[in-house]
Amino acid sequence: VEVLRDYGETANEKVNNLTTSLAFAVFTVVVFIAVFLGWRSAVVVGLAVPICYGITLSLDLIFGYTINRVTLFALILSLGLLVDDPITGVDNIERYLKEKKGSLTDKIVGAINEIRVPLLMSTLTIVLAFVPLAFITGMMGPYMAPMAFNVPLSVITSTVVAFLVTPWLASKFIKAKSTTELAEEAEQSQGFGMFYRNMLTPLL
């Protein structure tokens, strides 16, 4: 007996490749945030990702969706979308800590409250873009169903996390910077602003 094809082996290999890609994508996102916003902000966003995926995969299990190539592709696709809300929240919290006065709690609440409507509208836009995939009929219907389920669910979960979990994590990890650190950052941003203006002006 000679084995000509082993679809289990090839499927397992592709799933492993997608899992590796997913882990690398999460790692890349966290590293970029650490470079531009600091390691504390990176920790907050980094913790938001497994929370979103944990809730999404739990609901997959409840509704009978298996972990397959389409499901993993949907999760990788949604990664870029689901980190947007926590990143926006953390970035605005950082801005409030630099510019606003008041207690840490007041600053965090004010920062999240300011971006509440934009986050809700962006989530609604993504959900409306992907939900129609659930109504595809024929052979493509079962193929698209995991994407129509996982992507909107991941994005909705990320919005909930951005409103509830991100502020709590920020209150634990993110600290207001000293006057010296703020002065250094202002000097660096001013230098980058000049570079950006000199580069963009000829193009405009």
Residue 162, pLDDT above cutoff 70: yes
Say which residue, 191 or 59, is predicted with more confidence.
59
The conformation of residue 177, written as its DSSP 8-state character, comes to: P
Tell me the mean pLDDT in the region 187-195.
72
Say if residue 24's pLDDT is above 60.
yes
Query: If you count them, how many residues does the chain have?
Result: 204
Residue 51: phi and psi, rounded to 5, are -65, -45
Question: Mean pLDDT for the chain?
Answer: 83
CB atoms within 10 A of CB 64: 6
pLDDT in tens, 99-140: 877 788 888 889 899 999 999 999 999 999 988 988 888 888
Q: How much is the pLDDT for 179?
A: 55
- Residue 43 pLDDT > 70, yes or no? yes
Q: 179 or 79: which carries more pLDDT confidence?
A: 79
Phi, psi of 38 (to 5 degrees): 105, 160
Q: What pLDDT does 25 receive?
A: 78
For residue range 163-184, list pLDDT tens digits in order: 998 888 888 877 765 555 555 6
Question: What's the CA gap between 63 and 149, in Å, rounded?
Answer: 10
**The pLDDT value given to residue 121:** 94
pLDDT at position 104: 81
pLDDT of 53 strictly over 70: yes
Distance from C-alpha of 51 to C-alpha of 77, rounded to nearest angstrom: 17
